[in-house]
Amino acid sequence: MALTSHERIMRIFQNKEIDRPALKLWGAGIDTDRLLHPAYKPVAELAAATSDLFCGSGFAFNIIAGSNVNRYVERYKTETKSPDWIHQHTVFHTPKGDLHEIKQVSTKGEPGLIVEHVVKEPEDIEKLLSMDYAPYVVDSIKYDNAVAQLGDRGVAMINMPHAAYAVQKLLGSETLAYFSIDEREELTRLIQTYADRVLAHAKAILDLGIKEPVFNWVGPETYLPPLMGVADFEEFVHDMDKPLGETIHNAGGYIWVHSHGKVANFIESFIDMGVDVLNPLEPPKNGDIDLNEIIAKYGNRIGWEGNIEIQEIIQSTPERLRGLIDECVEAGQKSGRFILCPSAGYMEYPQPTEQYINNLMFYLKYGLEAVERYAK
């Protein structure tokens, strides 16, 4: 059996026999010219030539006000004390009062942070929901272009917002935790409203008649312990996402979900809500996934992607990486649904070290050798 990358990935989603485990470098694609730093060029080229590629393609969507968002939003920037950072302000002029967000944004491509969240007080939820929402008209032009560009080298996934994650970004984890106790009814109303909008958006995309679409979203990790409790995850993630999963599956689609953190005790929930492939399966200490144990328990009931921490590629010796790759592929291949992948995108560091670039090249070369040992 010899499969193309597209066939291999799709058969993992479909729980069908594959020729070998897949090899993914998160963030790699056909386009090798869009680089955060020139040093990434050989990595991008090798990944485009040898790995199984995933790319994201979005459809117009705004969870807060939809196509009406520009009626309410004002944006501007202010300087900070450092030339390396600016403050990016977003003001929502809602019918019931203004809401203000401040993001600290790097001028050099470094990760930023939210300095001031949109929602600070319970009444801010009512302000958010006072804005008139209107869905965008969806079309498949960008998605069709992504599919055509990838060809048989991989799969174009449809980027989706996640209702509970959208709310966490508006509140921040601290306020979210307080509201989950003191304002739970209002918090539930907000997440449910956003979940309804996401579901309607998915239905509009499915109505386009795309064959075997793969949807993807990120964010459930923000409702896992220790940030939130088990009951919070079940109510705000599982219960809110399950209708979306059922709708996508009933239309012949598939689901990829990214969730950092300790997910071992939530695999059954991910399966029940319809997740076909779960990423990034972090081992301890960041996560709690022992790949041998978890696959022995759940087998091929879900697709497994990841189990290599990005910091190992940044910091480890090639010898250690070799051992980690061997362990992951040996364990993962037992499921028949394994994708070897780092826990984060490879091109997220503006100033990559020589060691990191060399390790990325090693990961791709040795990773391919490792998965090909199990070729059928």
pLDDT digits over 177-212, tens only? 999 999 999 999 999 999 999 999 999 999 999 999
Binned at pLDDT 50, 70 and 90, residue 109 comes out as: confident
Termini Cα distance of the chain: 6
CA distance 123 to 129: 10
Mean pLDDT of 30-46: 96
**Residue 1: predicted pLDDT:** 84
Residue 68 has pLDDT above 90, yes or no: yes
| Eight-state DSSP code of residue 47 | H
- Torsion over CA: 251, 254, 260, 263 (sign): positive
8 A C-beta contact, residue 144 and residue 199: no
| Eight-state DSSP code of residue 269 | H
Binned at pLDDT 50, 70 and 90, residue 259 comes out as: very high
List of residues 6+ apart from 154 with CB closer than 8 A? 5, 6, 9, 29, 30, 52, 53, 54, 55
Binned at pLDDT 50, 70 and 90, residue 108 comes out as: confident
Percent of the chain at pLDDT > 90 equals: 98
Q: Does domain 5-65+129-372 have CATH number 3.20.20.210?
A: yes
**Token pair for 331:** 């364990």
Binned at pLDDT 50, 70 and 90, residue 217 comes out as: very high
**Residue 168: predicted pLDDT:** 98
Range scoring the smallest mean pLDDT among 102-116, 124-138, 157-171: 102-116
Determine phi and psi for 160, rounding to 5 degrees.
-125, 145
- Average pLDDT in the chain: 97
**Residue 200: predicted pLDDT:** 98
Mean pLDDT of 3-15: 98
Mean pLDDT of 55-82: 96
Mean pLDDT of 227-252: 98
Binned at pLDDT 50, 70 and 90, residue 260 comes out as: very high
Percent of the chain at pLDDT > 70 equals: 100
What amino acid occupies position 315?
A: Q
Mean pLDDT of 350-368: 97
**Residue 248: predicted pLDDT:** 98
Coil, strand, or helix at residue 137? coil
Mean pLDDT of 291-299: 98
Q: What is the pTM of this model?
A: 0.96
Phi-psi region of 188 (alpha: psi -120 to 50; beta: other; left: phi over 0): alpha
For the chain, the structural domain boundaries read 5-65+129-372, 69-120
